[in-house]
């Protein structure tokens, strides 16, 4: 198990069991010391159980970003009830480190297997990670991201793409 995935798991276990936020490892390993947007997704028996993240870094390092987003995915994803202690052994984690978003001009610049997408209309933003089961075309990717942001299908949006390093 990659160290970032282990950090996400330990963060959730400690928070669910003891209501405590763990400290980042010291010294910080190189893979945790930079800054990046981080998404933590939790699955239970292969089904999504929570997924929350940041597309731009909001803390001083990847370790803190991972800890915060792991806990948020477990207890603050409004699509699901908070994770309970009796579920902890059944949970699987993935951690995605996001590259900085880059604006695209043409839909042909998207590849849903390689790039995630962010759509922006005013203050509304929707994000969809890459390489998701059942999302095979850029059009599907954009429509799902719009829906997540409450943006109507016909509304114009600015589109950004980003790459990820996914750890399981």
The rounded distance, in Å, linking the Cα atoms of 101 and 125 is: 13
Last residue of a domain, one of 43, 76, 98: 98
Q: How many domains does the chain have?
A: 2
Angle at 37 between CA 81 and CA 98, to 5 degrees: 105
Model-wide pTM > 0.75:
yes
Average confidence (pLDDT) over 100-129: 97
Looking at residue 45, its pLDDT comes to 97
Q: Are residues 75 and 131 in the same domain?
A: no
Q: What is the 3-state secondary structure (H, E, C) of 127-148?
A: EECCCCCCCCCHHHHHHHHHHH
pLDDT band for position 99 (cuts 50, 70, 90): very high
The rounded distance, in Å, linking the Cα atoms of 73 and 16 is: 12
CATH number of 55's domain: 3.30.700.20
Q: How many other C-beta atoms are found inside a 10 Å radius of the C-beta of residue 98?
A: 23
Residue-averaged pLDDT of the chain: 97
Q: Are residues 134 and 58 in the same domain?
A: no
Looking at residue 78, its pLDDT comes to 95
Q: What is the pLDDT of residues 49-58, one digit of tens each?
A: 999 999 999 9
Average confidence (pLDDT) over 112-139: 96
Omega of the bond leading into 152 within 30 degrees of 0 (cis) = no
The rounded distance, in Å, linking the Cα atoms of 158 and 168 is: 31
| Domain hosting residue 124, numbered range | 102-167
Q: Are residues 91 and 157 in the same domain?
A: no
Q: Are residues 88 and 162 in the same domain?
A: no
pLDDT band for position 147 (cuts 50, 70, 90): very high
Q: What is the pLDDT of residues 5-57, one digit of tens each?
A: 999 999 999 999 999 999 999 999 999 999 999 999 999 999 999 999 999 99
Q: Are residues 94 and 108 in the same domain?
A: no
Looking at residue 121, its pLDDT comes to 97
User: Angle of helix 62-75 relative to helix 3-18, nearest 10 degrees?
Assistant: 50
The rounded distance, in Å, linking the Cα atoms of 146 and 104 is: 16
Q: Are residues 84 and 128 in the same domain?
A: no
Last residue of a domain, one of 98, 128, 145: 98
pLDDT band for position 67 (cuts 50, 70, 90): very high
């Amino acid at each position: 198990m990659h160290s970032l995935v282990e950090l996400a798991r330990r963060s959730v276990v400690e928070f669910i069991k003891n209501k405590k936020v763990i400290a980042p490892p010291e010294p910080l390993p190189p893979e945790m010391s930079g800054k990046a947007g981080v998404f933590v997704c939790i699955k239970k028996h292969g089904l999504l159980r929570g997924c929350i993240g940041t597309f731009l870094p909001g803390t001083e390092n990847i370790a803190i970003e991972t800890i915060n987003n792991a806990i948020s995915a477990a207890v603050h994803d409004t699509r699901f009830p908070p994770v309970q202690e009796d579920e902890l052994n059944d949970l699987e984690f993935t951690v995605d480190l996001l590259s900085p978003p880059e604006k695209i001009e043409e839909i042909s610049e998207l590849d849903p297997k390689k790039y995630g997408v962010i759509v922006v209309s005013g203050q509304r933003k929707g994000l969809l990670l890459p390489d998701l089961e059942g999302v095979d075309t850029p059009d599907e990717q954009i429509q799902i991201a719009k829906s997540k942001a409450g943006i109507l299908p016909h509304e114009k949006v600015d589109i950004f793409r980003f790459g990820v390093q996914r750890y399981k």
